[in-house]
Structure 1
Amino acid sequence: MKDMLQSPTRRQLLSMIGKTAGATAMYQAMTTLGFASESSFKETMDLKGAPPGASIVILGAGLGGLTAAYELRKAGYDVKVLEYQNRGGGRSWTLNSGDKYTELGGEEVTCDFEEGNYFNGGPWRLPSHHYAVFHYCKQFGVEMQPFIQTNDRAYLHRTDHFNGVPQRLGDVKNDIQGHVAELLSKSVNVGGLDRSVNTEDKEKLLEGLKGWGVLDKDYRYRASNETSKHRGFSVFPGGGLMPDAKPSKPLPISEILDSGMWADIYGNHMTYAHQPTMFQPVGGMGKIGDAFTRECRDMIEFNAKVTKIHQDDSGVTVDYVDSNSPDGATKTIRADWCV
């Protein structure tokens, strides 16, 4: 009972939020706690002044550990990195076609997808405000390309709505925008905003709503060639003997709201962390981990399972074994500091 009453760790708390409320709520919680805010990185670190012969042992060859190793060695420290897995990069890793991976439970997974395809086992993309990551990617020669966060031609689907017919994300988005603009224009026209805006502002607002929501002269959102230029045509315009263009029919606002598709559009793609332009390394996120590992390879010992850490007045002692041989002999490393 005592264990149940203990406060959860930050990792456990964020995990619970993610499982119950979704990724967006978890990211918002991370931002609030200061774990997902914009990077404060401004320029290259220039660490100096390591005491002669000073040593540091770093536990974990993820991007954080390898960044520390890379910069601390430049500052003059003798650095050793202990990594439990047989690779560096931590969560920044990629499985390619033909790869095999053994999960913690012992089950081996074979990636049998077609040549050229890959799966990112950790993060998938980089927000544009991750300045430090981009700095090291440029320094280590990791090529970047845009990550397409939102595809308006993708489909949204609800089995119990629209007769089960999938709807284009862009169509739903434009229809919501049009219907909201129509509702706002009605509010403006009946004088509901007279206390907030003057006549000139009112006219400008109505004109803006007409353009933003693609409304007709009566401020209605209806099927037309103009709305179809945004949401697509039922029959697209062509030339020669092609049939005449035919506007597509907007979805009723009541059905959109009832289907819950509003949340699909604005729940995950409008947050600060997912604003375009997003980026990804060419060939997968593992390219970042590979680059850091290449730069720090001579400092890393793989398959090192740490079993004990002891700190005294003069430094730190770390015991570890070969993670592939749990019953193997214990090794020990001594350093002035441990990260």
Structure 2
Amino acid sequence: MTAAPEPAAAVRVNAPTERRNPLSADLDLMSGPEILAVINQADAGVPGAVRAVLGPLDTAVGLAVRALRADGRVHYFGAGTSGRLGVLDAVELIPTFNSPPHWFCAHLAGGQRAMWGAVEAAEDDEAAGAAEAAGCVRPGDVVVGLAASGRTPYVLGALAAAGRARAATVLICADPGAPVAGSVDVFVGMDTGPEVVTGSTRMKAGTAQKLALNAFSTAVMVRLGRVYSNLMIDVLATNAKLRGRTVSILIEATGCDEAAARRALAEADGELRTALVALVAGVAAGAARAALQRCGGDVRAATALLGA
């Protein structure tokens, strides 16, 4: 049995997320409404912090699109809140965009147990992060490290191993001055500043990472043709709500009535993308499916091929 890693020495981290926020210095003396107002005021600055890093985030999107088109994968490595947000993002892409499960792989320090409870020591295990990445990352993949402080050993170990495996590396964190900024291919350092509760990165830093991940993965899916206009065209209709949504999407996209939308879906064996091309181009489901296959699943290219 592998011996447990030695406890890491206590280290004072001077990351922005560990500094005290003067706006909340008297937090424990405030009334309920005052506490909520301070938190809300602090949260209001998060979108601006994300806006400031859209350039490098777009670069990361391009790397991910290139990797997935070449049969590569995107890996998220994180610990604590950051890691759980990576798991959440990867899981939600499957029902929303019918993303193949192997496209986005989430790795959480401490494993599945850490999703439901704190396994705090796991984030200090740099060797574990390196070993996990070495065991699954291939050349051409993209590895996204998620670390509020930008210093989490598990994440840094994974990024270093990914670099050795000739994968592209991205770090998303809440410290623009993180020491490893120059050691990754793309650095996304968001300036969210001190937390309302000092060091509680489940707050602003976590919110910023959630926004950045939502933007990153959604942009990747859009660029891979899994959105038509601003509509989900690969949604997995696994319940009544989602089955109703597929009908609504066809109505919104084509202007047809509900009966025509349901008929098109039935003729397309429930394939929303095929039904959409059939309705837009005015062709049978078989012709729509063939056009999609010729165009790599791109709806606009398929409809253009069919003269629509």
Q: Which has the larger radius of gyration?
A: 1
TM-score, scaled relative to structure 1: 0.21
Point out which structure has higher relative CO (alpha carbons under 8 A, 6+ apart).
Answer: 1
Q: TM-score, normalised by structure 2?
A: 0.23
* Greater percentage in strand: 1
